[in-house]
């Protein structure tokens, strides 16, 4: 607390990202990054942009990238927005579409940044409890007087996926407010709600290059929706910072969307590793949610998640532990390479006495 802080600053509860330790080399299974490098074509494109043009501002309208992203999904540029990571787009969306006089509906267990942004914008959360199996109770996501809905699909950190039909039901139940579907993990086995944009002008779908395209360090995200929603995002962006994407990010992101073959290759690998590791963990007595993401959400009745987390950390493997009601006996484990996951499995077996 400082006497120089505004009341807003003093009231905030900032998001705490997964640790990025510098003290030693860990196997990092704690922030859902890709274990694989970005496409070589992306690195080449970024290198090609390292030149004296950096003295010039980047294109504030991000035309080339918007063109590439809209064409990739069969949409028009008027239905497409790009931002400095999907977190930035979420921040813009909260400001653009949600009214502080009405509560914002989201799950009690979900991406923790939603609560942080709600606080920042003075929005009251209307929390919907996940069911006993940690699934999204679709029938609870409606009502009178709420100002919007936000849901990650697959949900984080539970990794569970809603079908496209379920998303359609959600939209039918919420015709008069904006429904944001945060698809950070959709490429690992889900079906994108982008297919529904033509039918629902209140649907905003947010995606990112951070997870499935191995570009968390480049900071590029997308939003897709009706032209009026995209206009709303642009109004906020241009009242805040016109140059959210730099020249290197703009070039690298276009190249990422063009290398479909590499994208397919690394997502297929992550999915295959996920299925193999999930099966082995179940064999060890873990409850493993039905993950369609690049991480597993696991729990063991006989071993406290916090102890496993600390023991793994001690042995050089970082996973994520959330000291939060209902999920404080769970670990979120990002999918690494097969070698990394074998190390994780071996240590886990040792700890629970299954060697």
Query: For ligand PLP, what does the binding mask look like between residues 8 and 47, x meaning CB under 6 A?
Result: ------------------------x---------------
Judged by CB under 6 A, the residue of 156, 171, 296, 308 near ligand PLP is 156
Q: Please choose, from the candidates 130, 117, 123, the residue with its C-alpha nearest in 3D space to the C-alpha of residue 148.
A: 123
Contact call for residue 221 and ligand PLP (CB under 6 A): yes
Query: For ligand PLP, what does the binding mask look like between residues 85 and 114, x meaning CB under 6 A?
Result: xxx-----------------------x---
Nearer to ligand PLP, 104 or 347 (CB): 104
Nearer to ligand PLP, 327 or 347 (CB): 327
Nearer to ligand PLP, 274 or 300 (CB): 274
Among the listed ranges 1-9, 81-89, 94-102, 262-270, the one in contact with ligand PLP (CB under 6 A) is 81-89
Nearer to ligand PLP, 216 or 284 (CB): 216
Task: Give 185's contacts (C-beta < 8 A, 6+ positions apart).
Answer: 32, 152, 153, 154, 156, 159, 211, 212, 292, 293, 294, 295
d(CA 54, CA 221): 22
Q: Tell me, what DSSP letter sits at residue 11?
A: H
Sheet of 295-299, strand order: 287-288, 295-299, 330-334, 320-321
Shortest Å, Cβ 216 to ligand PLP: 5
Nearer to ligand PLP, 75 or 107 (CB): 107
Contact call for residue 208 and ligand PLP (CB under 6 A): yes
Contact call for residue 210 and ligand PLP (CB under 6 A): yes
Contact call for residue 182 and ligand PLP (CB under 6 A): yes
Contact call for residue 152 and ligand PLP (CB under 6 A): yes
Shortest Å, Cβ 34 to ligand PLP: 11
Task: Give 85's contacts (C-beta < 8 A, 6+ positions apart).
Answer: 208, 210, 219, 220, 221
Burial label for 9, CB within 10 Å (0-12, 13-18, 19+), is exposed
With beta carbons less than 8 A apart as the criterion, state whether 289 and 159 touch. Answer: yes
Which helix (H) or strand (E) segment holds residue 332: the answer is strand 330-334
Shortest Å, Cβ 179 to ligand PLP: 15
With beta carbons less than 8 A apart as the criterion, state whether 126 and 103 touch. Answer: yes
d(CA 51, CA 35): 29
Q: Is 105 helix (H, G, I), strand (E, B) or coil?
A: strand
Among the listed ranges 67-75, 82-90, 242-250, 332-340, the one in contact with ligand PLP (CB under 6 A) is 82-90
Contact call for residue 184 and ligand PLP (CB under 6 A): yes
Shortest Å, Cβ 206 to ligand PLP: 7
Task: Give 76's contacts (C-beta < 8 A, 6+ positions apart).
Answer: 70, 227
Contact call for residue 189 and ligand PLP (CB under 6 A): no
With beta carbons less than 8 A apart as the criterion, state whether 295 and 334 touch. Answer: yes
Positions that interact with ligand PLP (CB under 6 A)? 32, 85-87, 111, 152, 156, 182, 184, 208, 210, 216, 221
């Amino acid at each position: 607390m400082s006497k120089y802080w505004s009341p807003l600053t003093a009231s905030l509860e900032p998001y705490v990202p997964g640790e990025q330790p510098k003290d030693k080399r860990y196997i990092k299974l704690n922030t859902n990054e890709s274990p694989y490098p970005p496409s070589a074509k992306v690195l080449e494109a970024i290198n090609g942009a390292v030149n004296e043009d950096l003295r010039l501002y980047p294109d504030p309208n991000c035309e080339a990238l918007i063109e590439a992203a809209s064409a990739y999904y069969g949409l028009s540029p008027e239905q497409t927005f790009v931002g400095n990571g999907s977190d930035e787009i979420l921040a813009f969306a909260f400001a653009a579409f949600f009214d502080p006089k009405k509560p914002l509906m989201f799950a009690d267990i979900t991406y923790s940044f939603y609560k942080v942004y709600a606080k920042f914008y003075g929005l009251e959360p209307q929390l919907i409890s996940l069911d006993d199996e940690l699934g999204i109770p679709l029938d609870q996501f409606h009502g009178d007087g709420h100002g919007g809905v936000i849901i990650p699909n697959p949900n984080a950190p539970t990794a569970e996926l809603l079908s496209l039909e379920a998303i359609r039901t959600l939209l039918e139940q919420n015709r008069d407010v904006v429904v944001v579907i945060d698809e950070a993990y959709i490429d690992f086995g889900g079906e994108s709600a982008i297919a529904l944009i033509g039918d629902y002008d209140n649907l905003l779908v947010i995606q990112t290059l951070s997870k499935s395209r191995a570009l968390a360090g480049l900071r590029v995200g997308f939003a897709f929706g009706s032209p009026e929603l995209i206009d709303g995002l642009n109004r906020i962006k241009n009242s805040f910072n016109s140059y959210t994407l730099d020249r290197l990010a703009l070039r690298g992101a276009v190249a990422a969307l063009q290398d479909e073959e590499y994208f397919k290759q690394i997502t297929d690998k992550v999915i295959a590793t996920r299925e193999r590791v999930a099966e082995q963990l179940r064999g060890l007595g873990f409850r493993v949610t039905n993950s369609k993401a690049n991480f597993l959400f696991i729990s063991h009745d006989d071993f406290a998640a916090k102890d496993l987390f600390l023991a793994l950390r001690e042995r050089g493997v970082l996973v994520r532990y959330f000291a939060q009601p209902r999920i404080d006996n769970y670990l979120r484990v990002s999918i690494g390479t097969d070698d990394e996951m074998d190390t994780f499995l071996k240590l886990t077996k040792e700890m629970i006495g299954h060697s």
